[in-house]
Structure 1
Amino acid sequence: MTGSLRILLVSWYFPPANTIAAVRIGRMAEALLAEGHDVRVLTAAGLPCPATLDPMVPEARVARAPWWDVNDLPERLLRRSGGRPGAAGGPPAEAPAVPSAPGPARRLRRWAGEVYQHATNLPDSRIGWLPGAVRAGKALVRGWHPDVVYATAPPFTGLLAGLALSRHTGAPLVCEMRDRWSDDPYYPPPGWRLALDRLLERQVLGRAAGIVTVSEPWAAAYRRRFGRPVEVVCNGYDADGTDGADEPLPTPPGPVLTIVYTGGIYPGRRDPSPLFAAIAALGDDAPSVRVVFYGTDPAMVRPLAERHGVLGSVTVLPAVPHRQSVAIQRAADVLLLMQWPDPREDGNVPGKFFEYLGARRPVLLLGLAGGVPDSLLRERGAGILGESVGAIAAQLRLWLAQKRRTGIPPTPPGAAAGFSRAEQFARIAPFLRSLRHLSGPAAGAAAAGPAPLLEDSPR
C-alpha cells in the first residue's frame, strides 16, 4: 500500500486536555491528516484536566466516549448505604464526629484500599472507559473501515480498547508505548498484581502488528521481549509553536538568573533537592538565583526549598496553556529537567525535553549519567548534567557571571535538529506501510468509498 491510510487513533488523552500526552497525540493526528491520511480519533469525554489546549483536528473527526471512575465505587456504595465517605463501615453521615480510628484500623483500611485498587485498576484506573470506548469505536467504524488501529498508552486501557476494535474490524493493531507497563520502576505493585500485568501486556503486545515507542533503549527492549517490528518516534517540539522563526537571542543581562521548570515532580526520584542545595551553597549569591515551577504541586516543592533554606529563591505558579508554556521556556535563562538517577531510568525521556531543545535555552539536567537526555545534551552542546551539588553550584556561578555581563546565549542552532514533531511524525506512515499486514487492504475491509465524518457518532 503506497497511498493514504485510514487510521483509527485510540487515545485517552486528546485536545483540549492540556497534557503533554494530548499535545503529542493531537499533533500526530494533525500531521497525519496533513499528509493526506484519513484519521479518526477515539478519545475520552470530559477528561479530568484543564481543557485549555488549542484544537488540532476538526471535531467532526473525534468521537468522545463516556467513562466512569472505578475508584469512586466504594464512596458511592458508602453514600448509598448511609456510610460516611472515606470510612469503610463508618457511622451515618448525620452522626456526631468520633475520634479517628487507632493506628491498626487505619492501616487495615489503607491495606483494604490498596487491595481494591490493585484488584480493580486492571490494567489501570481508567478501566471504566473501556466499555464506552468499545461501543463508541464500533459505532465509529460502521460504514468506515480502518486500515490500522493505532492505540497509544498510557493509560493502558487504551490498548485494550484498540485490541477489541482490531478484532472487531480485522484491521491490524499498532501499539504506541509512551511509557512502560509491567516494567515501570515508578510503579512497584505486589507480586501477584505484577504477574497479572505481565500476562496482560504479553496478551496485548504479542498480538500487535508493530510497536511504536519514544526512545531507542525502550525499542530494543520491546524487540527482544515481543519479537515485533518497533519504530522510535520521539515526542519532539513544535517548530511553528514558538515566537517565530527568528534566531533566538541572548536573554537580557541582569542581576537575577531565572531557572524554569514546567510539570510535576517525584520527590526522591525526579527531585529538585540537589539544585536547592547548590543554591544554598552560593552564600551571598543565593538570592540572585530564582527557580520558577509551573504546574507543580506546591506541597512537593516548598518543603524541600525550606529544608535547604532557599524558600525565597523558589516560586510555584499554576499550570499554563501549552502555547504560553513554550513562550515561558524560550524566555528563561536556564531550563530545569529532572530524572531519577537510576539505571532503570535509561530510555525514559520526558516529553518536555524536546520542547526544551526547541526553546534553545541551556538545560540543567538532574538525572542519570549516560542516559538519553544526558547523551543528547553533551552531543549537541545544549546543557549540562548536574552530577553533584558542587558541580551544580559551580555552573550556577558561571551562569550568574554570564547573566550579569551579557545575558545567557541560546544553545547552538543544531541543538534541536531532527526533533521537530513534523520530522518525528513523518516516520509513522512509512512504518505502518512496512508492516506485512499492511502490504494490502486490511482483512475484512469493505471496498467502499469515503465515509461521512462523525456528526452522528456518540460523544
Structure 2
Amino acid sequence: MKKALIITYYWPPAGGSGVQRWLKFVKYFRDFGVEPIVYTVENANYPITDNSLEKDIPSGIEILKQPIWEPNNVLSLFGKKKTESAGFLNPNPTFFGKVLQYIRANYFIPDARKFWVKPSVKFLKEYISKNNIDVVITTGPPHSLHLIGVQLKQELGIKWISDFRDPWTEIDYFHQLPLSPKAIKKHHQLEQKVLQLSDAVLVVGQTMKQNYQAFNKNIKVVTNGFDGEVQENNMLDKKFTLTHIGLMNADRNPKILWEVLSKIVLKNNNFALDFQLKLIGKIDVSVKNDISNFGLSKNVEIVDYVAHKEVIEFQKKSQVLLLIVNNVPSAKGILTGKIFEYLMAKRPILAIAPTNGDLAEIINNANAGKVVDFEDKFSLETHILELYQQFKNGTLSINSNNVAQFHRRELTKKVSEIIYEITA
C-alpha cells in the first residue's frame, strides 16, 4: 500500500467544482492500493459550501488541517464580497476597487493563499519525517499550493506530483488581471519551476499537456469525471428545457445564444410557449441584463447554487444540456468538469465552444451532442430548431458511447498507476 499525502485547499464542506476531483480520487484510492492522507485548511473562506459532499469521505481517512491567513478576509472589509470568485472580476470597478485588484494581482503571487506555504512546509516536513509517505500530491488552483510541493521536493527529495485542475498562466481570467510585466514574468517563472521539479504532472486535457511538455516530459492527462451510474430517465421536463449548470460570468456570457433564441421566440409561437431556459448556479449581472434586453426573461428560470445531489436531478430531467466555454484566448484548452456529469445524465449536449478544442473532441468521440463555434449563428439556430422538432416528435434522445472511461473509479485507477510508476 502506497501512502499519498494530498495537499488541497478545497475539501468538504467546500462546494463547487474545485472540491470534486480529489474528493473522488480519495474515495476510490484504497481500491487500488493507495492510502490517502489529506492536508487542507482549517479555517477556509469558501465562497460556496456543500455539506452533503462530506458523505464521500471514506471512514478512517487521516485529514490534517492547519490554519490559513487569507488577505481576502481583510479586503472584504473594504467592500469585497465573500461570494466573489476569480470568475467574477468586476469589469467596472471603482477607483478603490481598481487599487484592490492591482494589489491582489501584483503583490499576492501566485495568489492570495501564498501565506499558507511557509507554515505548511514547516508542519509537513515534520509530519513526513515521522510517517512513511511515498508521494506528495499538490492540486491547484490555488497554484500557491504547488509551491509547498516545490519546497518539500527540494528539501526532502520526496516524490511529488503536481495536479493542474486548471492551467496557471493560461487560465481563462489571467488576461483580465491588472498584472505588471514584472508580475507576469514572476508567474511564468514559478509555473515553469513547478513543472520542471515535478516527478509527474497531471492535467485535465490535451491542450494543457501540449503546452507543458516543453518543461516536463512526464505529463499525464487525467480528465475530470462523473461518479455514479449513467442515467436512463423517463421523467423529463414537460417543457423544452435548455439547462446550464455552473457559474456564468461575463466571459461565459453567450450573447450569440440570447440573440438566436430571441429570434426563434419571435418567429415561432409554439417554441415561445414550450421553451424554458434553466440557469443553475451563480450568474453575472451582465448575463441577466442581456437576457432581459433580448426579451427572454419570461422564458428563464434562475436557480442559485444548490447541493450537488440536486444538480444531478436538474441534469437528468433536462431536455437539452447547455455548455458554454469562455470566449477567451485559451478557449481551446478549456475543459470544464461539468461535461463529464453531463455525459452521465445521457441527455443531448449543446455546447458553444471552439469546434477544434478539447471539449469538442470529447463530445464528438462520445457522440454526445453538438459543438457550435462562438460566432456561428446559423448552425446554432438550425440545431436548436432540430432539437425542438425532435422534442415535439417525442424522439429527443442521445445514443452516447465510450462514457465509462470517465467514471471517477476508472480515473482513480489511472492516478494510482502513475503513483506506483514514479515510486517504484
Global fold match (TM > 0.5): yes
CA displacement at 1:168 relative to structure 2: 4.7
Corresponding residue number in structure 1 for 2:409: 422
CA distance in 1, matches of 2:144, 2:321: 33
Task: Name the SS for the 1:174 alignment partner.
Answer: strand
> In the alignment, is residue 346 of structure 1 matched against residue 348 of structure 2?
no
Corresponding residue number in structure 2 for 1:456: none
Corresponding residue number in structure 2 for 1:15: 12
Aligned partner letter, 1:382: A
**How many equivalent residue pairs?**
399
Corresponding residue number in structure 2 for 1:450: none
Cα 1:248–1:121 change in 2 (3 A) is same
Task: Name the SS for the 1:141 alignment partner.
Answer: helix
What stretches of structure 2 of length at least 5 have no aligned partner? 81-92
Aligned partner letter, 1:258: T
Aligned residues of 2:12 and 2:49 also touching (Cα < 8 A): no
Cα 1:261–1:5 change in 2 (3 A) is same
CA distance in 2, matches of 1:112, 1:303: 27
> How is 1:158-197 mapped onto 2 (pairs within 5 angstroms)?
158-188=145-175, 189-197=179-187
> In the alignment, is residue 331 of structure 1 matched against residue 320 of structure 2?
no
CA root-mean-square deviation? 2.5
Corresponding residue number in structure 1 for 2:392: 404
Task: Name the SS for the 1:337 alignment partner.
Answer: strand
Task: Name the SS for the 2:18 alignment partner.
Answer: helix
Cα 1:62–1:371 change in 2 (3 A) is same
Aligned residues of 2:10 and 2:19 also touching (Cα < 8 A): yes
Corresponding residue number in structure 2 for 1:58: 59
> In the alignment, is residue 270 of structure 1 matched against residue 252 of structure 2?
yes
Deviations 1:234-274 (A, max 9, x none): 00111x2x5xx6x61455584x201111111232x322322
CA distance in 1, matches of 2:361, 2:39: 36
Q: 1:385 aligns with which of 354, 371, 377?
A: 371
CA displacement at 1:391 relative to structure 2: 2.4
CA displacement at 1:233 relative to structure 2: 0.4
CA displacement at 1:397 relative to structure 2: 2.1
> In the alignment, is residue 126 of structure 1 matched against residue 113 of structure 2?
yes
Higher RCO structure (Cα 8 Å, ≥6 apart): 1
> In the alignment, is residue 257 of structure 1 matched against residue 247 of structure 2?
no
Aligned partner letter, 2:32: E
CA distance in 2, matches of 1:327, 1:106: 40
Corresponding residue number in structure 2 for 1:442: none
Aligned partner letter, 1:173: W
CA distance in 1, matches of 2:22, 2:140: 10
CA distance in 2, matches of 1:319, 1:114: 25
CA displacement at 1:139 relative to structure 2: 5.1
User: Percent identity between the aligned chains?
Assistant: 21
Deviations 1:372-400 (A, max 9, x none): 22222223321112342332222222222
CA distance in 2, matches of 1:342, 1:196: 22
Aligned residues of 1:252 and 1:406 also touching (Cα < 8 A): no
Greater helix content: 2
Bigger Cα Rg: 1
Corresponding residue number in structure 2 for 1:230: 219
Aligned residues of 1:17 and 1:50 also touching (Cα < 8 A): yes
CA distance in 2, matches of 1:248, 1:111: 49
Scaled by the length of structure 2, what TM-score is found? 0.86
Cα 1:118–1:165 change in 2 (3 A) is same
Q: 2:201 aligns with which of 205, 211, 232?
A: 211
Structure 1 runs (4+) greater than 6 angstroms displaced: none
Aligned residues of 1:7 and 1:150 also touching (Cα < 8 A): yes
CA distance in 1, matches of 2:309, 2:156: 37
Task: Name the SS for the 2:111 alignment partner.
Answer: coil
Cα 1:372–1:42 change in 2 (3 A) is same
Aligned partner letter, 1:24: R
Aligned residues of 2:71 and 2:112 also touching (Cα < 8 A): yes
Corresponding residue number in structure 1 for 2:295: 309
CA displacement at 1:59 relative to structure 2: 6.3
Cα 1:252–1:206 change in 2 (3 A) is closer
Aligned partner letter, 1:305: I
Q: Structure 1 stretch 115-124 or stretch 317-326: which is displaced more? A: 115-124
Task: Name the SS for the 1:324 alignment partner.
Answer: helix
Task: Name the SS for the 2:252 alignment partner.
Answer: coil
CA displacement at 1:300 relative to structure 2: 4.2
Task: Name the SS for the 1:390 alignment partner.
Answer: helix
What stretches of structure 1 of length at least 5 have no aligned partner? 77-84, 88-104, 440-459
> How is 1:99-178 mapped onto 2 (pairs within 5 angstroms)?
107=95, 109-138=96-125, 140-141=127-128, 143-178=130-165
Aligned residues of 1:182 and 1:197 also touching (Cα < 8 A): yes
Aligned partner letter, 2:63: V
Deviations 1:306-343 (A, max 9, x none): 12111111111121111221222111111111113456
Aligned residues of 2:11 and 2:23 also touching (Cα < 8 A): yes
